[in-house]
Chains A and B, each alone.
Chain A
Amino acid sequence: MESATTTAPVIEPKPLSPALTAKDFKGPVDPDWCPGCGDFGVLEALKQAVATCGLQPHEVVTISGIGCSSNLPGYVNAYGMHTLHGRAVAVACGVQLANHSLKVIVTGGDGDGYGIGFNHFIHCMRRNYDLTYVVMNNEIYGLTTGQCSPTSSKGMKTKSTPFGNVENPINPIALAIAGGATYVARGFSGNQKMLAELIKGGLQHRGFALIDVFSPCVTYNKDNTYQFFRPRVKDLAELGHNPTDFHKALDYAFMWGDTIPIGLFWKRDDLPSLDQSEPVLAEGGPLAHRPLGIDPAAARELIEELM
């Protein structure tokens, strides 16, 4: 006699979703960035990268902190979170582990990620969370109307450094390479095609990917403009760099002047991402989808231990 309980449920295969284009990822409102802002180029490159990866909007979560660039999730048709200043990476870590079937992208600015959120950033890299982090680095605090940022150059005059910045800037690329990130790239919003490729590479990489982007602030940063970057930026591939060469990658990270390298600095595929290292996720699917109850035998054991 056949019992209903022994028959496996019939699972209908889901129809394959049609391939999407960048347009399908256009969000419900248009960006409110200043005309000419570098972030427009980053947004377009990001949408292209997501589309070319074959992702569906509901499979993607963009998570940002606070700042001009952190408004980005509102401009993308995907799940999004617009969290507190500096906390995007931490929130993203929670989302990624709670549902590791999602593609989690963190977006934000240099102040958000390299200033107030730096602690999360550095620890997230050593833990190799499977996140793609796109930092729109304009070397200035824009939304607060122009104060120096952790990446502002020495000597730069801003509203908070009217006589010139006396501090040294952070080097996010060198930090990321040394800090344990497994994919480290730098893009330029003036080269959208290359940027889309770099982001796509980050999305396809299993582990922590940093894509630092020169994204000029046309309103408050008169030093690091498109005109400043265009003649200086050089593709690392054209410079003959091999992104699996750790020491060369560090050398290029410190190169600054007439030649500023952009492209892929560093990549390694031999390390598992955190979700791959965590036995709790080895089987059973995303945590968020698992049933809540505890097996009665396990519960009994927990009580017995106390007796």
Chain B
Amino acid sequence: MAKVDFAVAVGGAAGQGIATPGDILARIFVRRGLHVNAYNAYQSIIRGGHIFLILRASDERVNSMGDKIDALIPLDQDTMNRHLTHLRAGGACLFDAEKIKPGAPRDGVQMCALPVRELAGASKIPNVQNTIALGALMQMTGVPFEALEAAISAQFGKKSKGAAIVDENVAVARAGYEHAAAQFQPFSTSLPDTGKRYAFLEGNQALAMGGAAAGVKFYCAYPMSPSTGVLHWMAKNARKLGIMVRQVEDELGVINMAVGAGHAGCRAMCATSGGGFALMTEALGAASMMEIPVVAINVQRAGPATGVPTKTEQGDLWQAMGAGQGDYPRIIVAPTTIPDCFHTIPELFNLVDRFQCPGIVLSDLLLSEGRASMAPEEFDFNPEIDRGEIIGWGGNGNGDAPPVPEGGYKRFKFTESGVSPRALPGTPGYMHVAATDDHMENGILISDEFTHPHKRQAMHEKRMRKMEGVLPRIAPPKLFGPANAAVTLLGWGSTEGVIREACEKLAGEEGIVVNNLQIKWLVPLHGDHILSLLSKSKTTIIVENNYSGQFARYLRGETGFAAHGHIRKYDGEPFMPHHIVDGVKAILAGATKTYVPTHEHIV
């Protein structure tokens, strides 16, 4: 069990500067060797509305935003009104006494009214109450002032007039710190320095950095929440890393440009959300038909249509599986954690290069815009690279190519594996056409003048055969937790953290032994393996962030397995651990087969 488990919530309107104290706090935590998980509930508005950031720290890896709030910093009255009752007993609320009226908290909650005007003195820095509250909070959690000072320096030091901004923030933070020492009760446990140091990043950064580690040389995108963070990271680092980054006119252009770059020999990647992904689907089929490796990331948000742009959902599984007309080989993967976002991309590029087909990554807002700590040694910038079969491979197809075989080069040669060695444009002697029309081994079309059912059948089988080679190369899912559990919680992608935390809660607080089977590789699916694991499970409950049970239906289609119960959520907000705990209890009690929790935070 973790010795420390501390959650801070900061809420206010967009434009009140919630991100900054969040970043400062996160930096303090990771520099004290505490793991962090952050979830920011926000809205599609630049100024106004309501933003609610929950930052949770622990000496062990933090799997989710958790169920409780220890400290609340409301920056406006609205936040006080919405969230004060979410503070646990023993928690504290730190607020600007001059601007915000305190509400009625639970018993045992400390209301820390900060005389902001008095503490700020002559300071004119914007959002001064944020910095004062940070100072007070750090005092109450036993963090030495120097740690806050260093984090403030790191936050503002690089700006123009940075030194002045740092000094002024440090001064008001100190005023808050000293005020708390004199006036407020400290928390019962303090935040220790474990001696370790972690990095802190959002899932989109992890996806982008995974791309850089994989050797992505071409990245393009059209801005779309919640995927735009990948573009921002790529654009910022493009020149340093030698990555061509383009913002394109639309997602049709994005995917087709990436396909072009992939064909020419670059590892090419793009990211979007469900709406943009819908525009990309035809070209994913085209990449498959032309046998071009390319990776498209769909960061899911609540749909359909424009939906709720700043809210999460796992609602695009069937869109990804049905992307594009016809049957075609492709790989679909849903990373399960933020570190897994990093590791998945190089792994996926090796597969799409080897099997010359598109790869689809299903992330979601929770994973991509959620943030987490990661140990520096977890970043592997030197992963294994397998570019598959490229003729004249001397770096990247720029070496000497062997003589063209008798009878000419067959780009789409029939092979047992279905994989045909590819020649990149520019390789002398190996000219061919890659067509989205179906074609013969030499690339000549069988769509128009030369249609031929036998040739079409043989080529279609060659392409589809590649999928048989993919399955043995991807890891089968593993059970987490005791083998002889009363309940198996089955999830896919981003819900791994919250499900595992629910498993611990169910065992610890309810005495129900639960394990978790989390599915990462969706297509191809280790169906037989999953079925053999689930056949030993007494009760299987599928947990997913969508309305219709998209994975449950897929699993049933692939394996015939029907789960005993379902926990589903489609209100735009991610699961909290107790939602799953309550669902398991309700389903075991026979109250329902499909449990839909109600989100308590109105955000």
Residue on B nearest A301 in the bound complex, by CB: B240
State the Cβ distance, B292 to closest chain A Cβ, in Å: 9
Residue on B nearest A291 in the bound complex, by CB: B395
Whether the pair B213, A95 counts as a contact (CB closer than 8 A) is: no
Contact of A307 among B197, B239, B286, B426 (CB under 8 A): B197
Contact of B260 among A57, A91, A284 (CB under 8 A): A91
Decide if B114 is an interface residue (CB 8 Å cutoff). Answer: no
State the Cβ distance, A24 to closest chain B Cβ, in Å: 11
Residue on B nearest A274 in the bound complex, by CB: B246
Chain B residues bordering chain A, tally (CB within 8 A): 80
State the Cβ distance, B432 to closest chain A Cβ, in Å: 7
State the Cβ distance, B410 to closest chain A Cβ, in Å: 12
Contacts of B406 in A (CB 8 A): none
Whether the pair B248, A90 counts as a contact (CB closer than 8 A) is: yes
Q: How far is the CA of A17 from the CA of B546 in the complex (A)?
A: 61
Contacts of A168 in B (CB 8 A): none
Whether the pair A81, B241 counts as a contact (CB closer than 8 A) is: no
Whether the pair A81, B197 counts as a contact (CB closer than 8 A) is: no
Decide if A79 is an interface residue (CB 8 Å cutoff). Answer: yes
Which among B248, B263, B444 has the highest number of chain A CB atoms within 10 Å?
B263
Decide if B442 is an interface residue (CB 8 Å cutoff). Answer: yes
Whether the pair A289, B396 counts as a contact (CB closer than 8 A) is: yes
Decide if B276 is an interface residue (CB 8 Å cutoff). Answer: no
Q: How far is the CA of A168 from the CA of B252 in the complex (A)?
A: 26
Contacts of A82 in B (CB 8 A): 433-437, 445
Decide if B189 is an interface residue (CB 8 Å cutoff). Answer: no
A: interface residue count bin: 35 or more
Contact of A74 among B205, B245, B435 (CB under 8 A): B435
Decide if A158 is an interface residue (CB 8 Å cutoff). Answer: no
Q: With A99-B426, A288-B265 in contact, do A79 and B432 touch (Cβ < 8 Å)?
A: yes
Bitwise, B402-430 to A at CB < 8 A (1) or not (0) is 00000010000000000000001111111
State the Cβ distance, B73 to closest chain A Cβ, in Å: 24
Contact residues of A between 47 and 86, Cβ < 8 Å to B? 56-59, 61, 63, 66, 71, 73-74, 77-84, 86
Q: Report the number of A-B residue pairs with Cβ-Cβ less than 8 Å.
A: 221
Decide if A102 is an interface residue (CB 8 Å cutoff). Answer: yes
Whether the pair A73, B260 counts as a contact (CB closer than 8 A) is: no
Bitwise, B348-385 to A at CB < 8 A (1) or not (0) is 00000000000000000000000000101001011001
Residue on B nearest A91 in the bound complex, by CB: B260
Whether the pair B240, A298 counts as a contact (CB closer than 8 A) is: yes
Q: How far is the CA of A74 from the CA of B445 in the complex (A)?
A: 8
30 contacts between A and B (CB under 8 A): A58-B431, A71-B448, A73-B435, A79-B425, A81-B263, A81-B435, A82-B434, A84-B286, A93-B246, A93-B257, A94-B258, A94-B260, A96-B260, A98-B260, A119-B249, A119-B250, A120-B253, A123-B249, A280-B242, A281-B244, A284-B242, A287-B217, A288-B424, A289-B396, A290-B396, A294-B212, A299-B382, A302-B381, A303-B376, A307-B30
Extra inter-chain contacts (17) besides given A82-B434, A87-B286, A102-B264, CB under 8 Å: A66-B436, A79-B432, A82-B436, A83-B286, A87-B253, A87-B256, A93-B260, A94-B258, A98-B261, A99-B264, A120-B249, A280-B238, A287-B217, A289-B398, A306-B200, A307-B31, A307-B197
Q: What 6 A-B pairs have minimum CB-CB distances, sorted nearest first? A: A94-B260, A292-B215, A288-B265, A98-B264, A299-B381, A90-B256
